[in-house]
A and B are shown apart, each in its own frame.
Chain A
Amino acid sequence: MIIELLLKKIRERYDFSEEEAGLLRGCMSDTATFGRNDIVVPEDEPVHFSSLLLDGFAARTKYLENGSRQIMEICIPGDFVDLHSYPLERLDHSITALSPCRIMKLPHRNITELIDAHPRIGRILWFATMIDGAIHREWLVSLGSRSALQRLAHLFCELLCRMRVVGLADGLEYPLPINQAELGEARGLTSVHVNRMLRQLREQGLVEVRQKTVRILDLDRLEQVADFDPSYLYLGRRSTDA
């Protein structure tokens, strides 16, 4: 079942019947694969479908004039990388593959038909884009107000929560196929500094990042150090049905 991870995300928050899952699945079209560093969705070009990340990792990225780039969100399997391209029709940023990845297309015309006929599914998809907004706000706080150590600690806490929802965390361990330069691009740090902070996190017995795997050693203390409160991820059942 190819959209299984997406369904896990939806069912974390909402009742979602097999019938509704079938409707959503019926709207999906073909898949595409990308290599590391490939542009999955280019900035400022017309887009006619949204991309669901089936496997691999991708980054919401802004490329700057000076050749550097900033990563604004890390997309994990089960995430729509650009559901918002449906109303926006183009992106103001790029989606870049951080690892080999595979996406499945959801054509925008199918979204229109689906949500016209089933407004509840429309609201559930809308919720998904709201989470992206919440993540962006939290990242702004990290960049503006958290120390280098906290920025990294916070990211590792966030990704653990999100990976758990889609069943990709193994206890306190999960894959994260990105290097220290990319961690820096996501946290407003240089790679030497990231390396230094990773060492500090390891020496303090908080988290260990090795061979593209994050292993959290002491979650309580890591969350404390990071000033991490998962409420912005809106985990768990919504109290009102969509």
Chain B
Amino acid sequence: MRRYFFDLINGTGLTCDEEGAELADEAAARDYAVRQLRSVVAHEVLNGELDRNIQIVVRTSQGRTMEVGLRDAVRMLPEDGEGRR
């Protein structure tokens, strides 16, 4: 188990995570970040906005481990004219 921190970067800037979460490994940290991002995006959509550059930066006490963006969290369907039937 290791403590991972999940900083959120979106249109309003950086929200730094000072608490973090104990997780088994990097794969678990990625899953966790994906779930967190989906939830934030869902609520933002309910408020009528979608920030396509939203990102969660995952780090440990040793530094940055990975970034998880909208495309990692949500399957993006093609827009009209991009192969949609």
Residues of A within 8 A of B (CB): 147-148, 179-181, 189-193, 195-196, 199-200
Contact = CB atoms under 8 A, between A and B. Distances in A.
B46 to A, nearest CB: 7
A200 B46 CA distance: 17
Contacts of A180: 19
Given A181-B21, A196-B8, A190 B39 contact: yes
B56 interface: yes
B84 to A, nearest CB: 31
Contacts of B47: 147
Interface string B24-55: 00000000000111011001001100000000
A192 B8 contact: yes
Majority DSSP secondary structure for residues of B touching A: mixed
Contacts of B36: 190-193
Nearest to B18: A195
A193 B19 contact: no
Nearest to B36: A192
Nearest to B13: A199
**Which of B8, B37, B40, B56 has the most CB atoms of chain A within a 10 A radius of its CB?**
B40
Given A192-B40, A195-B19, 14 more contacts: A147-B43, A147-B46, A147-B47, A179-B19, A189-B39, A189-B43, A191-B19, A192-B8, A192-B17, A192-B37, A192-B56, A193-B39, A193-B43, A195-B15
B35 A190 contact: yes
Contacts of B46: 147
A195 B8 CA distance: 9
Contact of A195 (B17, B35, B37, B43): B17
Given A147-B46, A147-B47, A181-B21, A196 B39 contact: no
B17 A148 contact: no
Contacts of A190: 35-36, 39-40
